[in-house]
Structure 1
Amino acid sequence: MTTALLKQPTQPTAVRKPNRSFIHGLISNKKALTGMAVMIIFIALALLAPLLFPGDPSRITAMASLEPSAEHWLGTTAKGQDVLALTVHGSRSSLFVGLSVGIASTFIGILVGLASAYFGKFIDEALSLVTNVFLLLPGLPLLVILAAFLPPGLGTVILVLVVTGWAGSARVLRSQALSIRSKDFVAAAVVSGERAGRIMFREILPNMASIVMGTLLACVIYGIGAQAGLEFLGLGDVSTVSWGNNLFWAGNEGALLTGSWWVFVPSGLCIALVAFALALINYAVDEVTNPRLRKIKTPKTTPTKAETSAAK
């Protein structure tokens, strides 16, 4: 009897497969595909910029203020620099700053939001106080003051934007973490003796994937736009090539007064296109994760003979 039981084949245990509905939803979403296509183009241009336009993009290559032509597709600046080379090389700095600010601000927001929501009491009050102080500080004057007193450079721009931009993401993520903190599975993990770090990052954080993605995209948009604004005011490193510095030099060289639209339109249009693409991806994430925003497709039915005769 016992040998027969031992020889019986054991049933294979069910293996939990990863939920791919989120990825499939993004792939089938037209807004997400459009936004990702635009971002892939800009990232490819940024990576291939040294191959497409080797050398210093700020060097003088032709006569000053030339209109777009077959030789210079976007014309030249008042100094004789190729505008297309400046625009393509400027994407490297602008995208790098935007991604760095977005990742750093979201990471700080995750740490502050999770710790505030999970521990509560004194830690929640202290972190909420610090967050509220940064939220109440006027953003633009603080940006100008910090950028004016710190040494110019990309590191300074990233530091200034992270310091002034993390509070909003922390407030949003804290509110989401508070709602998940009260769920039964979190209470079960606490009762079973799980460590606080494991509960926060293995139980609560995975259920915040959509809001974290939306916060990250919003912070990237903020980083790119704020960098362009600081550099347009002359508070960045004017020796670097970026979309903001391109607008700064276009304003200083009187491109608006002389009607040289080809000098400032490309950089401004690139900023708008990147922000638009990220906003499309953000809205697509909301559509995939929020059932209220999903479009219900009704099947097309052919009218029966009785319905057609009644209509006649």
Structure 2
Amino acid sequence: MLLPSMTPWLATGLVLVAVIVVFGVVGPYLVGDPDAISDTGLSGPSAEHWLGTTQTGQDVLAQLAHATRGSLQIGLMVGVLATVLSAFFGIYGAYLGGFADEAFSLLSNVFLVIPGLPLVIVISGFVPRESRGLWTIAVVLALTSWAASARVLRAQTLSVRSRDYVAASRLSGEKPWRVIGVEILPNLLPVLASQFVYAVIAAILGEAGLSFLGLGASNSSTLGTMLFYAQNGFALPLGAWWWFVPPGLVIALFGMGLSLINFSIDEIINPRLKNARTARRRAKAARRRERRSATGTDGTAGTASTAQEVAR
């Protein structure tokens, strides 16, 4: 498997994701208690409270650090669960073929036909609020987001399964789990990585939407719950931008960083994207050379203009 070349987009994505991950992992240990109440309610950013306070005087920076950790946990859990489910139904089913492949494909099609967001809302609504923890929300989001990835992995597995070295391994009597793990799975790692990144993005956005509707995890802090409490506290009508802008900005920046990383992974999966980027670079370099030649930077046009001045 080839590693993606470092591009400005990939570097930007890695920096954004790394900064937010470090903030979510280390930040809660450096800030105070997010539930501590003070007498400076709904005050703007200051030296004491860098991101201001909520309506009840809670520090927004402390809440943001703990909420970022909660959202990262949700994204990681959903990403792992959805990737495992899509790999099982997509890769294992396509390798077995026959009735198993048809049954898994039918199940994937059923989940693809059902609208995702309404299904998540219905499932979350039936789960009692006291039972809605991080794991419950993660399982709900994973169950509604694996089908599309399974279809992609199934198509890739069917292509790899027909290759000679896979057929040779099967004919030699290798066990199915070894053929999948040694011969097929390494060829699908870029696809799995791309699907994992996409699942994390969808999970964080989905959890934020559920929490904003009041269907998120109870007794836990996420970026979605921050937006929910900001809405209930009339932060927007009161002009308390420091209450709802930071969590929304973290979600946007983290999603943008993961998307940039995903674009770079796509260049491994689809060589046409890499070739198109190389062609654009060559075209830009050719245009720069033409401009330098036209303006006399390379000395040709400059010599002609100097000769004209001497003749005058």
TM value normalised by structure 2? 0.85
2:77 alignment partner, one of 100, 108, 120: 100
**Partner AA of 2:196 in structure 1:** L
Cα deviation, residue 178, structure 1: 1.1
Establish whether residue 49 from structure 1 lines up as the match of residue 27 from structure 2: yes
Q: 1:33 aligns to what?
A: 11
Cα deviation, residue 287, structure 1: 2.3
Aligned-pair identity in percent equals 44
1:60 alignment partner, one of 37, 55, 60: 37
Contact 1:238-1:245 at 8 Å conserved across structures: no
Contact 1:255-1:264 at 8 Å conserved across structures: yes
Distance 1:82 1:292 in 2: 49
Q: How does 1:64-83 map to 2 (within 5 A)?
A: 64-83=41-60
Q: 1:8 aligns to what?
A: none
Structure 2 residue matching 1:78: 3-state secondary structure: coil
Cα deviation, residue 201, structure 1: 1.5
Q: 1:212 aligns to what?
A: 192
**Partner AA of 2:195 in structure 1:** T
Distance 1:238 1:263 in 2: 20
**Partner AA of 1:160 in structure 2:** V
What do the CA deviations read for 1:58-93 (whole angstroms, capped 9, x no partner)? Answer: 221341110112221111111111111111111110
CA gap of 1:288–1:169, structure 2 versus 1, over 3 A, is: closer
Distance 1:256 1:308 in 2: 62
Q: Which moved more, 1:90-99 or 1:235-244?
A: 235-244
Distance 1:194 1:219 in 2: 32
Q: How does 1:55-204 map to 2 (within 5 A)?
A: 56-150=33-127, 151-204=131-184
Contact 1:231-1:238 at 8 Å conserved across structures: no
Cα deviation, residue 278, structure 1: 0.3
Distance 1:52 1:243 in 2: 18
Distance 1:171 1:289 in 2: 16
Unaligned 5+ segments in structure 1 are 1-18
Runs of 4+ displaced beyond 3 Å: 297-303
Distance 1:289 1:176 in 2: 10
Distance 1:86 1:76 in 2: 10
Distance 2:117 2:22 in 1: 32
Contact 1:62-1:81 at 8 Å conserved across structures: no
Structure 2 residue matching 1:177: 3-state secondary structure: helix
Contact 2:28-2:62 at 8 Å conserved across structures: no
**Partner AA of 1:43 in structure 2:** V
- Which structure's residues are more often helix, by fraction? 2
Cα deviation, residue 50, structure 1: 3.1
**Partner AA of 2:170 in structure 1:** V
TM value normalised by structure 1? 0.85
Cα deviation, residue 289, structure 1: 4.5
Distance 2:187 2:244 in 1: 43
